[in-house]
Amino acid sequence: AKAKPADLSGYTRVKQQLVQPPYAPEHEQVATGGPKIIEVTMDIEEKLMVVDEDTGASIWALTYNGSVPGPLIIAHVGDYVELTLRNPASNAMEHNIDFHASTGALGGGGLTHVFPGEETVLRYKATKPGVFTYHCAPGGAMIPYHVTHGMNGTMMVLPREGLKDKDGNPLPYDKIVYVGEQDYYLPRDENGEFKTYEAAGDDYADSVDAMRSLVPTHSVFNGAAGALTGEGAIKARVGETVLMVHNQANRDTRPHLIGGHGDYVWETGSFGDAPQTGLETWFIRGGSSGAAMYTFRQPGVYAYVNHNLIEAALLGATGHFVVEGEWDNGLMEQVAAPRPIAS
């Protein structure tokens, strides 16, 4: 018995233009009109990326649309997402996609295996509100291999009425900052130097050995150490409310905003549960996305880190917010600048 076709009457088709992280595609926070079929397209790109300029460490990254993490996709509960996934003939490997936001067929992974030169189209209904990881999952050891080579991102499913606090008050945000934390397990040669490879997939056997240690050589935000510092730092203003979406497809992490807080935090990423409030540090379970909302109250630089400080300082898990506005001595004041100790 063949399954009945889906009844798509009453749905409006819209195209969502995906953008590079840390940005979010244009979207409504509170849904207007009826449910939609949101059409998105992702091209798989295998590319050589430098992950740490200091050491020159590099990886043949496996990416959705050329970025690590893949682009943020946004829908509302009740919408359909219709993805065209293309694996250009120039690629070397088979890929697919597993959406944690979806239901059935290994999250779509079972219906989307594309070899180089192939494309496929998958449609699923967003039934659960929240931020959810998506990632490649070709099978067996290829699953962690692809995921730890960058092939993962976040699908955000907003409640139709937008985000709310525990009492039902609306929690609008001014902008989204989308961070993907990537653990890399880069093989080293006998001298301890990071190895280089000719083509995507050539590091497979070495990578399997490196992964088995469970200790990453790098844990970086948005593909490479320093991607969100310096030129890549996020700009914000005092009074601005930022929703920080954090994806970690494989390994636990604990974001912290140095000098700020999580005013409202959906640690597990479920927007169906009331947010936690006033957190210093929040925990993203490996294989999930979570979100934290903060309204900046002071100008200056804020470091956004994985608060295993070794991972932040030595493995790369640090980004920066540069915030403009007026300093509030009522919140913090340097009463006495460093000076000789009074005896």
CB nearer a second copy, residue 192 or residue 198: 192
Q: Per the residue annotation, which of 151, 156, 244, 293 is the catalytic one?
A: 151
Task: Examine the residue annotation and report whether 256 is marked as an active-site residue of this protein.
Answer: yes
Cα–Cα separations (whole angstroms), residue 97 to 1, 24, 64, 200, 309: 26, 20, 10, 18, 32
Task: Please report whether residue 72 would count as binding Cu ion according to CB under 5 A.
Answer: no
Residue 113: φ, ψ to 5°? -65, 115
Residue from 139, 170, 172, 286 that binds Mg ion (CB under 5 A)? 139
281: which strand partners?
256
Using the contact rule CB under 5 A, the part of the chain among 77-85, 152-160, 276-284, 297-305 near Mg ion is: 276-284
- Residue 25 site contact among a second copy, Cu ion, Mg ion, none (CB < 5 to 8 Å, cut-off depends on kind): none
Identity at 4, one-letter amino acid code: K
Of 42 and 151, nearer to Cu ion (C-beta) is 151
According to CB under 5 A, which residues from 126 to 155 bind Cu ion? 136, 146, 151
154 is a site residue for Mg ion (CB under 5 A): no
Cα–Cα distances (Å) from 40 to 13, 85, 121, 187, 208, in that order, read 11, 9, 10, 35, 32
Among 36, 76, 95, 297, binds Cu ion (CB under 5 A): 95
Based on the shown chain and the rule CB under 8 A, indicate whether residue 171 belongs to the binding site for a second copy: no
Which residues, in sequence order, are CB contacts of 38 under 8 Å at separation 6+? 14, 15, 16, 73, 74, 75, 79, 80, 81, 82
SS (H, E, C) 303-320: EEEECCHHHHHCCCCEEE
CA 319 to chain centre: 13
Q: What's the residue count for the chain?
A: 343
Name the phi and psi angles at 231, rounded to 5: -55, -30
Out of Cu ion, Mg ion, a second copy, none, what residue 136 binds, judged by CB under 5 to 8 A for its kind, is Cu ion
Residue 251 as a binder of Cu ion (CB under 5 A): the answer is no
- Which partner, Mg ion, a second copy, Cu ion, none, binds residue 151 by CB below 5 to 8 Å per kind? Cu ion
Task: Report the residue number, 280 or 328, with the smaller CB distance to Mg ion.
Answer: 280
Of 158 and 312, nearer to a second copy (C-beta) is 312
Closest by Cα among 254, 241, 248, 260 to 298? 260
- Is 120 among the catalytic positions? no
Would you count residue 276 as binding a second copy (CB under 8 A)?
yes
* Catalytic residue positions, numbered: 95, 98, 100, 135-136, 146, 151, 256, 280-281, 307
Residues near Cu ion, by CB under 5 A: 62, 95, 136, 146, 151
